[in-house]
Amino acid sequence: MRFDDFALSAQALGAAVARAAPGRVGRTVYEAVAATARVAPSNTNLGMALLFAPLAAAARGRGTADLRRRLAGVLRGLSVDDARWAYRAIRLARPGGLGTSREAPVARRPSITLGEAMRLAAGRDTVAAEYARGFAVTFDLALAGLRRALASGLSLLEAVAQAHLELMAKVPDTLIARKAGAAAAVAIAQRARAVVQAGGVGTQRDSQRRGGSTGTFARTGTASIPERPRTWSRPRSSSGSSRRPRETDHEQPGRPVEAVSRSDREGLHRLLRGALHHVRRPRVRALHGHNYRAAAALEGPLDENAYVFDFTRLKRALRATVDRLDHRMLLPTKSALIHVTQAGEEVHAAYRDKRYVFPASDVVLLPIPNTTAEMLAWWIAQELRRGLGTLPSGMTALEVEVDESSGQRAFYREALDPPGRPGRDAS
């Protein structure tokens, strides 16, 4: 699976969960999974759908009780019909490491309520245990950890990562246990505990190098997030250029501020006069054109003038990069399906029994496997890094967005080298 599979899945999940209500929890789960199946090649969010559906239903329920009490009422009201819809969702998602149950097999039509089915599975699955125990992990551990991290001065995203680590340290992951054994789940929990003890999110890069799946824990962690509202600021200059939205709801007095400089979106005005690229199936699309737009952002601390980076410098570098692509035929040189060669003043592209010949002056050969928005964003980011030269000390990330059409865009984000390494200003 790729990042865009998860991004599209999140959109599909959100639209389905927004329709949740008491009495239709199971159906909400199914609708979320079905919507996800239309945009992703395999299961990405069954566990999150199972967790979000009753929470969203409780949030939309009537009454003056707090969310947790309303949730208890939703869980008590789960029916056989809810179980039928949820079983359909599970069969559609086909999650890995699901296992089997002799009492209430997913392959058969259920005769018990969804609550009863979850209680049967509670001993081997954290998501099921949440249903059986009133979402105790979500409220008592995940949400409590999130609030604690926010109170310590972390941003929302940092706080989510910190709560994630603390939860993993306390609750061995049942998906890892089913797939790799209980010892592996305990070992991952011990690693997370060591990271928390060493400083938490400050040691995030070390934990990423160690690897490991996050499984059901990650899903339980996400269930604690919706209760906290977010506010975004979108400062915009008179020229139309804008900085990337920055989270402002948990600003701490005296805390160093990290912001983003974003270039004005550069219209590529028919960036692709033509393109050859392939879709997921082994098939190459016919020659076609696009009108793309691109944006770039640099992330880092504010300087003495309250700037992150010179907008004009970033804009010029972006324009110089995209101008190399404008009104050109883009061909991928690392495609597994399209064979590209250059012979003098001509460029030849071949796919099966099809042959194309282009003037070399009209072609840009790109060292990418496919001319998708994702790969174009990656290529532009690499060229921008070279074009910008030495960056001020403290820059932490570069992000490029390529907008293919309204509502269809791809992002590439790259962490920048620590200060003192080649390509950075070490002063």
pLDDT at 426 over 60: no
The predicted structure's pLDDT at residue 52: 93
Judge contact between 51 and 223, C-beta under 8 A. yes
Share of residues in the chain with pLDDT > 70 (%): 74
Q: Is 303 within a domain?
A: yes
Residue 366 and residue 269 in one domain: yes
Torsion of CA 48, 50, 53, 55, to 10 degrees: -80
The predicted structure's pLDDT at residue 124: 83
* Mean pLDDT value of segment 182-187: 88
Q: Is 262 within a domain?
A: yes
Query: Residue for token digits 């979108």?
Result: 234
pLDDT at 113 over 80: yes
pLDDT at 77 over 60: yes
The predicted structure's pLDDT at residue 407: 66
| Among 133-142, 234-243, 261-270, 291-300, the range of highest mean pLDDT | 133-142
Q: What proportions of the chain, in percent to the nearest 5, are helix, strand and coil?
A: 45, 20, 40
- pLDDT tier, 107 (very low <50, low <70, confident <90, very high otherwise): confident
pLDDT at 30 over 90: yes
- Residues 111-134 as b/e (b if ≥16 CB within 10 A, e otherwise) read eebbbbbbbbbbeebbbbbbbbeb
**CA gap 194, 297 in Å, rounded:** 34
Residue 272 and residue 403 in one domain: yes
192 sits in which H/E element: helix 182-198
> What's the structural domain count of the chain?
3
Query: Residue for token digits 């089913």?
Result: 178
Last residue of a domain, one of 88, 107, 132: 132
Burial (CB count within 10 angstroms: exposed 0-12, middle 13-18, buried 19+), residue 176: buried
Phi, psi of 258 (to 5 degrees): -115, 130
The predicted structure's pLDDT at residue 253: 31
Domain interval for residue 203: 135-223
**CA gap 70, 74 in Å, rounded:** 6
pLDDT at 284 over 70: no
Residue 143 and residue 123 in one domain: no
Q: Is 246 within a domain?
A: no
Q: Is 244 within a domain?
A: no
Least confident of 62-76, 102-116, 283-297: 283-297
Residue 208 and residue 320 in one domain: no
The predicted structure's pLDDT at residue 274: 44
- pLDDT tier, 373 (very low <50, low <70, confident <90, very high otherwise): confident
**CA gap 106, 91 in Å, rounded:** 7
Query: Residue for token digits 């692509």?
Result: 325
Residue 335 and residue 266 in one domain: yes
The predicted structure's pLDDT at residue 286: 61
Would you call 274 helix, strand, or coil by DSSP?
Answer: strand
Residue 306 and residue 159 in one domain: no
Residue 121 and residue 156 in one domain: no
The predicted structure's pLDDT at residue 425: 40
Q: Spell out the residues 6+ positions from residue 315 whose beta carbon is closer than 8 angstroms to its own.
A: 241, 263, 264, 266
Structure tokens of 314? 């970033």
Q: What is the pLDDT of residues 191-244, one digit of tens each?
A: 989 888 888 886 544 444 444 444 444 444 444 444 333 322 222 222 233 333
Q: Which residues pair with 357 in a beta bridge?
A: 348
pLDDT at 293 over 50: yes
- pLDDT tier, 6 (very low <50, low <70, confident <90, very high otherwise): confident
Averaged confidence pLDDT in the chain: 76
pLDDT at 78 over 90: yes
DSSP 8-state assignment for residue 203? G
**CA gap 363, 348 in Å, rounded:** 10
Q: Is 170 within a domain?
A: yes
Residue 25 and residue 89 in one domain: yes
Last residue of a domain, one of 112, 132, 152: 132
Question: Cα 415 to chain center, whole Å?
Answer: 16
Would you call 381 helix, strand, or coil by DSSP?
Answer: helix
Maximum pairwise Cα distance, the chain:
76
Residue 23 and residue 10 in one domain: yes
Least confident of 122-136, 255-269, 324-338: 255-269
* Mean pLDDT value of segment 92-110: 72
Judge contact between 126 and 214, C-beta under 8 A. no
pLDDT at 112 over 80: yes
The predicted structure's pLDDT at residue 2: 73
411 sits in which H/E element: strand 408-415
**CA gap 266, 401 in Å, rounded:** 11
The predicted structure's pLDDT at residue 128: 92
Instruction: Pick the more confident residue, 45 or 41.
Output: 45
Angle between helices 144-151 and 156-170 (to 10 degrees): 130
Would you call 237 helix, strand, or coil by DSSP?
Answer: coil
The predicted structure's pLDDT at residue 246: 32
Q: Is 240 within a domain?
A: no
**CA gap 396, 399 in Å, rounded:** 10
The predicted structure's pLDDT at residue 114: 95
pLDDT at 279 over 80: no
Residue 206 and residue 268 in one domain: no
215 sits in which H/E element: helix 215-223
Residue 49 and residue 188 in one domain: no
The predicted structure's pLDDT at residue 84: 93
Q: How big is the CA angle at 155 (ends 154 and 159), to the nearest 5 degrees?
A: 65
**CA gap 271, 289 in Å, rounded:** 8
Residue 325 and residue 349 in one domain: yes
The predicted structure's pLDDT at residue 238: 27
CATH number of the domain where residue 387 is located: 3.30.479.10
Judge contact between 83 and 113, C-beta under 8 A. yes
**CA gap 360, 348 in Å, rounded:** 9
Least confident of 116-120, 154-158, 418-422: 418-422
HEC assignment per residue over 54-122? HHHHHHHCCCCCCHHHHHHHHHHCCCHHHHHHHHHHHHHHCCCCCCCCCCCCCCCCCCCCHHHHHHHHC
* Mean pLDDT value of segment 392-401: 88
* Mean pLDDT value of segment 114-142: 92
pLDDT at 139 over 90: yes
The predicted structure's pLDDT at residue 288: 63
pLDDT at 252 over 50: no
The predicted structure's pLDDT at residue 100: 58
Last residue of a domain, one of 179, 198, 223: 223
Query: Residue for token digits 């921008």?
Result: 384
- pLDDT tier, 309 (very low <50, low <70, confident <90, very high otherwise): confident
Q: Is 265 within a domain?
A: yes
* Mean pLDDT value of segment 250-273: 35
pLDDT at 355 over 90: no
Phi, psi of 136 (to 5 degrees): -65, -40
**CA gap 110, 186 in Å, rounded:** 33
